[in-house]
Copies of this chain bind each other. A is one copy, B any other.
Amino acid sequence: MSDGVEWGVHVCVLLAGLPEDAALPAGKLAEYHGVPAAYLAKHLQALAGAGVLQTVKGARGGYRLARPAAQITVLDVVEAIDGDESAFRCGEIRRRGPMAMPAREYTKPCGIHQAFMRADEAWRSELALSTIADLLVGVLSDVPRPTLEKGARWLQESAR
């Protein structure tokens, strides 16, 4: 999994805390998270392309969530950034060696591939249970008040 996934989820949680209609420019999102702006920009574009974020044009422009935080899951962010391919790469090695058969005989994935597909589904189902709104609630309850206030001041100065 790419680093971009962690960054992308953090970005969404931060944007979920913005007042409605406010947006944050890419540079500010990179500054807030202390990550390289050029790399983050690539992931922000992927999130916008997938309909998770929305770009707002103009002097007060930047990024904001494309829909309510309760309707964006962690899985949405993962798939926007890393795609929906399983971590298991099936090399179809069953087709090699002395038990190899003509290609037409392989009509379904082998049991090994199927076991990893089921595991991948379990992984995705679990990530589909966490929404950005849930994560924001967690931050608000876990982070000490003075730190939250510092963050809120920074947001107020930075949001457009």
Contacts and interface: CB of A to CB of B under 8 A. Distances in A.
B35 A143 contact: no
Given A34-B97, A98-B151, A111 B6 contact: no
A94 B10 contact: yes
Give the one of A3, A112, A121, A134 with max B CB within 10 A: A112
Interface in A1-38: 1, 3, 5-7, 9-10, 13, 31-35
A3 B89 contact: yes
Interface string A117-160: 01111111111001000110011001110011011001000000
Count identical subunits in the complex: 2
B147 A99 contact: yes
Interface residues of A, number: 56
Nearest to A30: B97
B93 A33 contact: yes
A122 B127 CA distance: 10
A99 B154 contact: yes
Given A99-B143, A101-B144, 6 more contacts: A34-B93, A118-B130, A119-B124, A122-B122, A122-B123, A122-B125
